Amino acid sequence: MRARIAVFVVIIQSLLFLAHFLVYRTWLAFWGPPDPPGLTVLRVAFAVLSVSFVIASILAFRYSNRMARSLYTLAATWLGVLNYFFYAACACRIVYAAANFSGVHLERRTLAAIVFSLAILASIYGVANAARTRITRVRVKLPNLPMSWRGRTAALVSDLHLGHVRNRHFAERIVSMLASLRPDILFIPGDLFDGTAADLDRLAQSFSKLSLPFGSYFVAGNHEEFSDHTKYLEAIARAGVRVINDEMLHVDGLQIVGVHFHNSVHPDRYRMILQRAAIDSSRASILLVHAPHHLPVAEGAGISLQLSGHTHGGQFAPYTWIVSRIFGRFAYGLHRLGKMWVYTSWGAGTWGPPLRVGTNPEIVLIRFD
């Protein structure tokens, strides 16, 4: 296991070195003076930045003090900026080569100024956009829904990723927004925590302040399963949130099923858990599962509505396009598969770079008709 982690770290660090080198060489070629021999401020800066995220991530999994949190936040933000600087560097080279091929003269400095300025603006927008949580309202009509549930609302909050970047203050703000919305029930389909070192009880404590008529419910996401998920589930339970451990609950006549992430990624195991839950397909049911994987398994089990997160919609462009290619129409929003509705949320928090471009952080309010 440690050998696999070491190989993964080496691969990621190598890619980061290459990305930083491309940005550095492109900036010098299009804007700066010739590259002098020896160390320069720019060289040192890029060298430090190229290793910052890996070092900060390693520290983040071991420490939760203020210095570790600050370093990780800065390194993660820079990683997002680097993303757009990398594409800016590629754009400079491609546009300049195409112009030369077409016989059009372009001033290198002007081209670099325009393209890198756009990259900076995209990064600033991404950070600001990720900090503003929206309320998304949807209406769902479920067959055989108990009359008592008609007109009621459920809040869906996924992927808060509480930890070094999104901390207790963020959790308190989300809980305050939920309290003002006054839903009847709350569903949290995983990744409440980021998986880094943290005071879990302190982060989860805000949810103990919620008093909802039919309670709050949680299943684990992949980030709760980076290590033994017991400590996460216990912290959530101590905050008054009901953990659904691969089982079905009956809440005022509504069937609520929850499957933890690691049991949902294996189709046969997933199918067995849903069969064991003894879902009555003639009555309405809601399934909490972190990722919109293996949807035909849930639909075949008679689920009425699946609630998921995980995808972040790609979080920021161009990864929004990649995620949409992987998950198709189920990457985000409310869609139907056979007799089952599926809502996949963009999530309320962020993972890695605290940027969102092309997606919005959200709390989803679902009204049952």
pLDDT value for 39? 65
pLDDT value for 6? 85
Is the Cα dihedral 78, 81, 83, 87 positive or negative? negative
Looking up tokens 């994987």 gives: 293
Interacting residues of 185 by C-beta distance below 8 A, sequence separation 6+: 152, 154, 155, 212, 213, 214, 215, 216, 217, 251
pLDDT value for 226? 87
Task: Say how far apart CA 249 and CA 247 lie, in whole Å.
Answer: 7
Task: Say how far apart CA 192 and CA 49 lie, in whole Å.
Answer: 29
pLDDT at 228 over 90: no
- Quote the radius of gyration of the chain (alpha carbons, Å): 23
Q: Look at residues 148, 153, 172, 152 and name the one whose alpha carbon lies nearest to residue 162.
A: 172
Identify the three-state secondary structure at position 309: coil
* Average pLDDT, integer, range 182-191: 98
pLDDT value for 2? 73
Domain boundaries, the chain: 2-130, 135-368
Query: 279 with 301: CB under 8 angstroms?
Result: yes
pLDDT value for 37? 72
Strand order across the 134-140 sheet: 134-140, 362-368, 153-156, 185-188, 216-218, 242-243
**Which tens digits make up the pLDDT trace of 119-155?**
999 999 999 999 999 999 999 999 999 999 999 999 9
What does the DSSP 8-state code read for residue 132? Answer: -
Does the pTM surpass 0.85? The reply is yes
pLDDT value for 286? 98
Q: Average pLDDT over the chain, rounded to whole?
A: 95
Looking up tokens 């900090």 gives: 131
What separation in angstroms does the CA of 8 have from each of 4, 13, 15, 229?
Answer: 6, 9, 11, 22
Identify the three-state secondary structure at position 102: helix
**Which tens digits make up the pLDDT trace of 54-67?**
999 999 999 999 99
pLDDT at 1 over 70: no
Instruction: Name the band, by pLDDT with cuts 50, 70 and 90, for residue 100.
Output: very high
Task: Say how far apart CA 330 and CA 308 lie, in whole Å.
Answer: 10
* Average pLDDT, integer, range 33-49: 83
CATH 3.30.70.3450 fits 135-368, yes or no: no
Using a pLDDT cut of 70, give the percent of the chain over it. 99
**Which tens digits make up the pLDDT trace of 245-263?**
999 999 999 999 999 999 9
pLDDT at 33 over 90: no
pLDDT value for 32? 78
